[in-house]
Chain A
Amino acid sequence: MSAIDFDRFQGAARYIAEDTLLSDVNAAIALGRPLLVRGEPGTGKTMLAHAIAESLEMPLLSWHVKSTTTAQEGRYHYDVVQRLNDSRFGDIDGIDVRDIRRYIKLGVLGQAFTAPQQVVLLIDEIDKADVEFPNDLLRELDEMAFTIPELDETVRAEKRPVTIITSNAEKELPDAFLRRCVFHFIRFPEPERVLRIIDAHMPNLEERLIHAAVTRFYEVRRVNGLRKKPSTSELLDWLVVLASAGVRPQEIAKRMPFLSVLVKQEKDLEVLGRRFGQA
């Protein structure tokens, strides 16, 4: 096999990726392993899955993990309550309570495994869930299969979904889980790439405005003691506000207009206010 077969993901039109990200995505696809993406908030981890789906022209299935999410929710849900209700009160024609399939609903994993074509599966913010959550998914990620005991059936993916897992590294992920993933760490982009990102999103912005704003943006990121450093998405928001308010580039260099778009935490605003002489 040649390398070209796997070199499928080239980055989507609006997603400006590092070289190593492209090769890591392709390695994950070729090896059939999930890609674990970690990085600061706002470095485009979730966007990556969208970009891959767009570029490979595959449907995207997203599973947004919350603190209460369990692995079972991803597999399937057996709606006992509905069945109970139907068995007692369901007089509607055509409902066969004896048919258990009627009450088994596939979760996102189940849908991804049974999809007629290969899909991109996004498991977003896996670190939000309980510590044991990733361990509960080991078999699913290894074999891309799970069993439904109620039906005595195994759901198995014909075509392994391109699996992207994102994490903010809030919790440490278990070793056994990490060993099954291809790992990519998104670094905060350097100014050059930030400029390309801005260009991809807002091609018609005045160059001097961009220059002034980006300079200020990196100044803010360098300030010590910030709770949350502003990220690219906040920079993009800031630029939109600056442009639509008609702020002149010189003003950005003098003071910090609309600072609260860039920095959201009150304590951070205080810190910056002291630093730049305006709250």
Chain B
Amino acid sequence: MFDLLLLNLRRRDLKVGLGEWMAFLDGVGKGLAVDLDSLYRLGRAVLVHQESQFDDWDLAFTATFEGVEVDEKLSKALDEWLQDARNTAGDLTDIELEDDELRRQFYERLKEQKERHDGGSKWVGSGGTSPFGTGGRASKGIQVGGGGGRRAIQVAGERQWADYRQDRRLEHRDFEVALRALRSLTREGPMELDVDDTIKRTADNAGDIDLVFRRKRVNRVHLRLIMDTGGSMSPHTRLVTQLFTAAQEVKGFKSFEAWYFHNAPYGQLYESFETRQRKPIEELLRDWTPQHRVVFVGDASMAPYELFEPWGYGGMTDRRTQLSGLDWLKRIRTRCPASVWLNPDPKRWWRHPTVEAIGAVFPMHSLTLAGLRDAIRTLRRGGH
């Protein structure tokens, strides 16, 4: 049963390590879990480290324990199993083994256990018609079922943590936290007195003062946020505005600028759509360096000709250079390889010719917390 729980957790991508698993068993051994209810709580506290994964825990727990029949023999079997697992754990941790080896041995032991238990009656099944039942409380070990058990399953089944999942949509604060990870500090600033080193050098120098200076740490990241506005982007206005304010508020970027376009950039970017102030991309690219981080935000979906043809969208055509929107995107990408595209549309809409074409130019991530983090990682790697 416990190996099934571990299996279900891993299946839900909850990476439970050996250390936590042992701590969990240790807790069970110390009597912290006397019924399913407390088992649920103990497991969540020890095995799960983020509220965003509580929902996965609920699902794994339900999958493991739903429909479990109460059986005196089962409690006993579990008790033995635990005793055994605990002993094994003790043996294993005493020996210094490579992590992988440790893990392998542990799983082998789990496998043996499973075979032995499964030889008897089947004790996990979704077809069980009888409810958890009451009474039959074993004096020690785990009590499976009982009133508590039903509650735990119910609580887990309610999925009250679903809102906290990582793939939920973003909030202002999340943006700030994620964007902060983009900073990269280097000692390039003005000189400052290095107190620690001064003291050390002075002491080494038998007490004669020896001053040491060093450069201050500064953030050398230039950030450019380029946003699609209007049209199909209107439903995402709030989200994009939040990203924009957050980027503005994260202090310490060496420089930050926001630019706008509609559908695709055709030779120029707008400082603001209301005032229609704009600048040619060519001019901008002269200032931008490969060290600039460029983040595009847009749904990337439009009529194919708007992206692939040089006459593009309405009056925004760039007849002079005969470059299409896609060509301009490629130029920006070539100049600033550390660039990504954030798409607020759900991933299932990305099978669209213009989305796929843009996705071939920029690494495309969805505008969710997980997606933004991936995007920042991509940027830190230099855009690949």
Contacts and interface: CB of A to CB of B under 8 A. Distances in A.
Interface of A: 1-3, 5-6, 20, 23-24, 26-28, 30-31, 33, 36, 38, 80-81, 84, 87-88, 169-172, 175, 178-185, 225, 227
Given A24-B41, A30-B27, 19 more contacts: A1-B30, A1-B31, A5-B31, A6-B31, A27-B27, A27-B45, A27-B46, A31-B26, A84-B202, A84-B207, A87-B207, A170-B177, A171-B181, A172-B177, A179-B17, A179-B19, A180-B19, A183-B45, A185-B164
Given A170-B177, A171-B180, A180-B19, A26 B32 contact: yes
A3 to B, nearest CB: 4
Contact of B23 (A33, A81, A84): A33
B309 interface: no
Contact of A27 (B32, B164, B202): B32
B238 interface: yes
Interface in B11-39: 17, 19-20, 23, 26-27, 30-32, 34, 38
Interface of B: 17, 19-20, 23, 26-27, 30-32, 34, 38, 41-42, 44-46, 48-51, 54, 164, 172, 177, 180-181, 199-200, 202-203, 207, 238
B31 A2 contact: yes
A31 B21 CA distance: 12
A51 to B, nearest CB: 18
A229 B109 CA distance: 50
16 contacts: A1-B30, A1-B31, A2-B31, A6-B31, A6-B32, A27-B32, A27-B42, A31-B27, A36-B49, A80-B200, A81-B199, A84-B203, A172-B177, A179-B17, A181-B49, A183-B50
Contacts of A23: 32, 38, 41-42, 45
Nearest to A78: B199
A184 B20 contact: no
A60 B199 CA distance: 34
A172 B166 CA distance: 13
Contacts of B177: 169-172
Nearest to A24: B45
B203 A3 contact: no
A250 B160 CA distance: 34
Contacts of B23: 31, 33
Nearest to B160: A187
Contacts of A180: 19
Nearest to A25: B45
A180 B199 CA distance: 36
Given A1-B31, A24-B45, A31-B27, A185 B51 contact: yes
Nearest to A19: B41
Nearest to B19: A179
A38 B51 contact: yes
B41 A80 contact: no
Nearest to B41: A23
A38 B180 CA distance: 20
Contact of B49 (A170, A171, A183): A183
Nearest to A183: B49
Nearest to A131: B181
Contacts of B51: 38, 185
A171 B164 CA distance: 17
Contacts of A2: 31
Nearest to B47: A183
B90 to A, nearest CB: 15
Contact of A88 (B41, B49, B54, B207): B207
Contacts of A172: 177, 181
Contact of B31 (A3, A20, A84, A88): A3
A27, A28, A84, A172 pick with most chain B CB within 10 angstroms:
A27
Contacts of B20: 179
B238 A225 contact: yes
Which A-B residue pairs are the 6 nearest by beta carbons? A178-B49, A185-B51, A3-B31, A24-B45, A23-B41, A182-B45
Contacts of B38: 23
B126 to A, nearest CB: 27
Contacts of B45: 20, 23-24, 27-28, 182-184
B172 A30 contact: no
B32 A179 contact: no
* Residue among B31, B34, B164 with max Cβ neighbours from chain A (10 Å): B31
Nearest to B200: A80
Contacts of A185: 51, 54, 164
A23 B48 CA distance: 15
B30 A30 contact: yes
A84 B199 contact: yes
Contacts of B54: 185
Nearest to B241: A225
Given A23-B38, A38-B51, A80-B203, A31 B31 contact: no
Nearest to B174: A169
B50 A3 contact: no
Interface centre among A6, A24, A36, A185 (most CB of B within 10 A): A185
